[in-house]
Each structure stands twice: as structure tokens, then as C-alpha cells.
Structure 1
Amino acid sequence: MASIQKRPDGRWRARYRDGVGKEHARHFARKIDAQQWINEVTASVVTGRYVDPKAGKITFAQWFEQWAAVQVWATGTKLKAEQALAAATFKEFQIRAILPSHIQAWVKGLSARLAPATVKVYYNLVSSAFRAAVTDKVIAENPCAGAKLPRERRREAAMTVPAPEQVKSALQVAPEWFAPYIAVCAFAGLRLGEAAGLQLADVDFLRRTINVSRQIQGNTKAAAEVVPPKHGSERVVYVAEELVQILARHVETVGVFGKEQWLFGTGGTYFNRNSAADRWRQVREAADIGEFTLHDLRHFFVSGLIADGCDVVTVQRAVGHATPSITLNTYSHLWPTAEDKTRTAGSRLIATVLADSADSVRTKEATSL
């Protein structure tokens, strides 16, 4: 419902009621301007682009916090959201005043100091908040649309996989109480936090399995907490007898701690991200194996599975990816290509023919004798 009325002072008052019955009004010197405003409002309602003129006055930080408070997030995602908001250069702007140019300038600034993958995570969270604002009719458009993100390196170029001799060196120089932790990462493919979250009951020494049902999340002792694994990552890993023996010796010689019988930790508490990474840095420096991270040991495990002929689903289940597509997107470059398979098949074919020929020659020679 909309109307235009002339005021006693000669100005024109245009007003309308929105979908919830709230009245909005503006005053104009000319009737034609009042009519144009009403027409624009009507058009925005018809096209679904109408927003409350006062709603967009909220700052982006205020909106983001409101939006984040109702999201169902894992602790890690919540932490990333807090970091994304803290990094937003426009967080104190009214949300309706934020332009695509603000977003692009922010992305460029992040790209100068953060990895492309981290920039993408921050951008996706901020863009999701803006999309929610559009859905709730706070703003008409998402200013993140069309922003150019930094290019990520190709996975085969960015991924580092330790060589077997480098893993061996790390295990040899690692303290007795830390080497089994390295072994679980390298020979079972557990993430840093998953390995830190292992308890004695998670290892079935008879069936040779490790049950991944929790992880330690947090960078410091104060912030560390026990949480479920990443979505889709709860799993049973079928491990080699040799790894089971390593863990059995660890329990026998080093022991477990706490009423939960934690397998790995230091100072009577389980590892957090910083404490595990710090100890690993000391090991790799002593072993002189370069800048490999604990997560690179997971890549080492996967590369071994693939080299041994494991299919995508087998690898997916072993490492706890939610879908096979994630596994393929991450590790497709490690699988043999069509060219590799063609060459291998050709080699086998040639070997078969030449072997048959050699056998035939030997048979004829034996017969002639």
C-alpha cells in the first residue's frame, strides 16, 4: 500500500507499508520525485530485491556476529570465522555501504601476507555472511560477487611428500616417546589432531585397527579441547602388524597417562597443535630432512596406498575424507595416468611375447639335442 500527499508546507509526502506492515515515508519538494521513489520501491518488491532502508545501517561486524551465532559449526570453523572477521578491513562500515571495490581491496591486502588457500577460506566465510544478509533482506546484493581471488598452486606442485628414507631418519632420531606418534601419522595417515587424540582403547591390537573417534583442536594448552573429528572423518583404519607392534612397545616402555589412557603427549597432557609441531620441528632439524610438516606424513601414507594399487574409495575411507571426490581433488596427481597404464600394459605384452619366443627357442634347441 502506497500513497502520496501534499503537506501544508507545500512538500510531498510519499509513504508505503512493507511486508510486515511497517510504514516508511519520505518527503520531496516535487510530486514527480515522490512518485519516482514509490515506483522504485514497488519495482523492488515485485522483483524480490526490496530491503528495509534502515536495516542496512547495521555494521558488518554486528551482522556477522549475529549470523555466526546461529550457525552450526565445528570449533575449527568457528575459529576461522573469528579470524576472518578480525581481518575484514570493512567490519565497522555500515553493511549497505560496502562496495565490491572494498572487497577486492581486502582480498588484495590478504593475498600479500596469507596463503591463497587461507584467503579463500576467509573470503568464503565473509561472502556467506553477505549472502545471508541478502536472504534476510538486509541488503539487496552481495558485494563479494565477482571478486578475484589469488590463484592457488597446482596440488602436485604445492604438495610435498617425504621420501621413505626421510621418514626413516625422522623415526631414528625422534625420542622414544615421540617416535610412535610420528609412526601413526606416517603409517596410518592420521591428522595431527587425530593422532594426538588417541587413547589406548582406540587401538585393537588383535584385529590390527585404530579407531579414529576424536581429535585435539587448539593451538595452545589453554585452548586445546577434545572434539569429534572433521565431518565424515570418524573411521576405523586397518593398519600393518608392524605399526601395532610399535604401539605395543610404546605402551609397554613409555606407558599411557590420565584416566582416559592417552597414548601421546608431553608434561602429563595430550599434544596440542603447537606442542606437537614444535617437537616435530626439533626432530626434522636433527634428521636434516627439510621443511616437511606432520601433515606431509599423511601425504606419505596416501602415496604409499596409491603406489600399492589402492583405489579411490579405499584411500578415501583410510584417510577419512567425506567423499571420494575430495580424495581425487587432493591426490589425483599421485594415481597412474592413462599414459602410465598404457606403457605398463605394453611392457607386459612385450614381456609375454618375448618370453614365449624365448621358451619356444629353448624348446626347439632341447628337442634337437
Structure 2
Amino acid sequence: MSAVKRPDGRWRARYRDATGKEHAKHFDRTVDAERWLASVKTAQSRGEWIDPSLSRVTVGEWAARWLDSQVQLKPSTHLRYSSLLRSQVLPAWDRVPLSSVSHADVGDWVGNLTAAGLAPSTVRQAHRVLSLVLTLAVRDGRLARNTADGVRLPRVSRQDKHFLSHEQVGELAAACGPHGLVVQVLAYTGLRWGELAALRARHIDLSRRRLVVAESVTELSGHAVFGTPKSHHRRSVPLPRFLVSQLVDQLRGKAPDDLVFTAPGGGVLRNNNFRRRGFNQAAESVGLAGLTPHELRHTAASLAVAAGANVKAVQRMLGHASAAMTLDVYAGLFGDDLDAVADRLDDAVRRSGADQMRTEHDDDDPDEGAAESLVAV
């Protein structure tokens, strides 16, 4: 490593990497040249040195390579990532070299998106996409670290969830007329809309009262695309007996691969069409204006907990990745369970105290002890 003054008065700092390749950079001041060489030496000693030529590729070029590598993504997720890149990430980062993406700049970008009026959830999703792009660059040896990590993100305010009672579910189902069974299945199984719309006759085992979630359908550019459920895992969901009797009629005449619920003219039952053709009006007529079909999934969780289901059972029913996720989303539903635990502990302590008092009383009564001895003899 060395810093040499050039005839034009500038300083040329240079060093060789482990392969013997020379790297150089020019500075106006010797102190800046020496500081740069010192940083290179530190990075090499820590094993964090990156060949500058590798990080000269732009974010736009690397993002395209990253997106092409995401072959494991569901089509809907791939489309969403592509849309976020095009609309939010690349307008700011397209021609910026990977090496020039600083932590402070990422923070400013997040702030600008927020100031522009984007929803906090959209800002967080855009940041996640940029972070995933940079993560691949780190793994490929083009960056020493992901400078998007640790950036402060806007909070997503959680709206109060609407939990319907059994009576409200019944009223809503009745108001939906021929589509009432859709409401009941959503409210008592917790299926996501895409899972319900992709449900086939062979996925329902009426004798075992089980419904298998094996597919999901999403809309991509106006077309229905079938794929795996959100978690990529099949799951078995229990069916209440009153639903079984109604599903017998719904399944009559259907082939194993036929969809259980379809649009009036056949084909996939689409969420927006379902709402527009009757659900919204039905919800308003029973005092539930603004309710969405997805909120019936929350109702399913609420009714299951009220019926005695524990967090693990609710997790499996809803298809959450973990019980921790279920608790995070529905923590308030399990409050009564905690109160019941405290009550049972109180009862146990009282019983233990009473037993202790009886034991001490028995030990202090010599006559009773003598009588027992006589009987024993």
C-alpha cells in the first residue's frame, strides 16, 4: 500500500489484493488518500474487503438478476415484487452502483416515500424488496453488508378487527341468499378467499368432517391463476356438523375436480364480483356496512377460541406459519383463557391450603391418633 503525489498535485493511493491485482484511487489531499488505504487495510484484516469492480454494477442491473433468480416465488408474489421494483425502488436506485447505496440514503428514500403519501405497508414492502436485492449482493460477495438493514420504517397501524357473533353470521348468511353457504364456510373454517375459491369437491371429506386446503387462486392481470396456499403447505380444517349437511347439497352432481363454489355463470368466484353482486348490500342490511369477506376469517378465529380452541389449534386451522404469528394477530382473543388459568391457580392454592390445615389439625389431635392406634391393633 502506498500514496504517491502526482505531477498535477493530486495523490494516487494504491494497493494489491490477495490475487495480486492492483487497485488505485486518486485524492486531492494526502490525508484522504491515507484514510482510504487505512480503511482498505482494516477491511482486509476483518475479511470484509470487496473487490470494487464487483460492486460497480448498478442496483437496476442487480435487481433484474435478483428477480430472475426468484423462481420459487408464487406468481402473485413475483408480480408484486416486480411491481414494487418498477414503481418504487428503481425510480430512485436504478442507476446507482451497489457500492454507493448508503444506510443514510436508504433512510432518506424511505422518508421520501412516506412524505409522498404512500401507505406505511407499501413503504415497508418497497424497503423489503430493496433489502432482498442487497442481501443477494452480500451473499455474492459484492457488498460487505446490507446497508438497508436497521433503517427506521413507518409503523403500520392495525385496524380493530370485526368479530361477528353466531347470530350475526346467521343473519348475514340469510341476507346473502343463495351465497349464504359461502359466508358460513368462511366464518367457521377461516379460509382465505383464494383458498375458498380454489376449493374442489375432492378436497372435502364429509365422512371425516374435514376440508383440505391444497390450492389457492389469485388474480394476475385479470386472469385467475391457481397455485399453492399462502404457506405453501396443505392443511386439514375441521367442519362443524351443520356445515356438512349443507355441503352435501352443494356437492351433489359435482365431479371430484369441480370447484365447490363458482360464479353464477361458472368459473372462478371472484372476490370483487361477490362483494359487488350482493355481499356488500347484505352486510349493510344487517348493520355490518363495510364488512369484507376477509373479516370472516377473523370471526372464525374468534368463534373457535370461544369454543375452547387453544392457540395451536387456531394456528393449524388458519394456516399460520407459527403459533407466535397467531398470538401476534389474535392476542386479545386469548385473554379470557389467561384469566381462567389464574382462577384455576387460585382454586389449586386454596385446596392446597385447606389440605395443609387439615393435616396440621390431625397431627395436633392426640385422642384421634390414639383411637386410630387402638383400631389398628
TM-score interval, normalised by the smaller of the two chains: 0.7 to 0.9
1:289 Cα deviation (Å)? 1.1
Q: Which runs of 5+ in 2 are unaligned?
A: 351-377
Aligned counterparts of 2:14 and 2:333: Cα–Cα separation in 1: 65
SS in 2 for 1:121: helix
SS in 1 for 2:226: strand
Note if contact 1:232-1:322 (Cα within 8 Å) is conserved in structure 2.
no
Aligned counterparts of 1:33 and 1:251: Cα–Cα separation in 2: 77
1:58 Cα deviation (Å)? 2.8
1:301 Cα deviation (Å)? 0.9
SS in 2 for 1:195: helix
1:184 pairs with 2:185: yes
SS in 2 for 1:265: coil
Aligned counterparts of 1:92 and 1:203: Cα–Cα separation in 2: 49
Which deviates the most, 188-197 or 38-47? 38-47
Q: What amino acid is the match of 2:100? A: A
* Number of the residue aligned with 1:52: 51
Note if contact 2:76-2:220 (Cα within 8 Å) is conserved in structure 1.
no
Aligned counterparts of 1:241 and 1:34: Cα–Cα separation in 2: 78
Which deviates the most, 75-84 or 313-322? 75-84
* Number of the residue aligned with 1:324: 323
* Number of the residue aligned with 1:131: 135
Aligned mate of 1:119, from 119, 123, 143? 123
Aligned counterparts of 2:21 and 2:274: Cα–Cα separation in 1: 57
Identity of aligned residues (%): 31
* Number of the residue aligned with 1:260: 257
Which deviates the most, 188-197 or 132-141? 132-141
Structure 1 residues 40 and 107, CA gap change in structure 2 (3 angstroms): closer
Which deviates the most, 178-187 or 141-150? 141-150
1:296 pairs with 2:295: yes
State the TM-score, normalizing by the size of structure 2. 0.76
Aligned counterparts of 2:197 and 2:54: Cα–Cα separation in 1: 46
Note if contact 1:219-1:272 (Cα within 8 Å) is conserved in structure 2.
no
Aligned counterparts of 1:242 and 1:227: Cα–Cα separation in 2: 30
Aligned residues: 342
Q: What are the equivalent positions in structure 2 for 1:137-286 lying under 5 Å apart?
A: 137-153=141-157, 158-176=160-178, 178-218=179-219, 221-222=222-223, 224-231=224-231, 233-252=233-252, 256=254, 260-266=257-263, 267-279=265-277, 280-286=279-285
Structure 1 residues 273 and 114, CA gap change in structure 2 (3 angstroms): farther
Aligned counterparts of 2:36 and 2:345: Cα–Cα separation in 1: 73
Aligned counterparts of 2:108 and 2:9: Cα–Cα separation in 1: 46
Note if contact 1:90-1:102 (Cα within 8 Å) is conserved in structure 2.
no
Which deviates the most, 48-57 or 24-33? 24-33
Aligned counterparts of 2:9 and 2:327: Cα–Cα separation in 1: 70
Structure 1 residues 228 and 171, CA gap change in structure 2 (3 angstroms): same
1:251 Cα deviation (Å)? 3.0
Q: Deviations over 1:245-304 (max 9, x none)?
A: 22222234xx658x8311122232113454445444344245441222212111111111
Aligned counterparts of 2:184 and 2:58: Cα–Cα separation in 1: 49
* Number of the residue aligned with 1:363: none
SS in 2 for 1:210: strand
Aligned counterparts of 2:155 and 2:125: Cα–Cα separation in 1: 13
1:194 Cα deviation (Å)? 0.5
Note if contact 2:280-2:289 (Cα within 8 Å) is conserved in structure 1.
no
Q: What amino acid is the match of 2:46? A: T
Which deviates the most, 279-288 or 145-154? 279-288
Aligned counterparts of 1:186 and 1:317: Cα–Cα separation in 2: 16
Note if contact 1:202-1:212 (Cα within 8 Å) is conserved in structure 2.
yes
* Number of the residue aligned with 1:92: 94
SS in 2 for 1:226: strand
Which deviates the most, 107-116 or 160-169? 107-116
CA RMSD of aligned residues (A): 3.5
Note if contact 2:107-2:151 (Cα within 8 Å) is conserved in structure 1.
yes
Aligned counterparts of 1:183 and 1:103: Cα–Cα separation in 2: 46
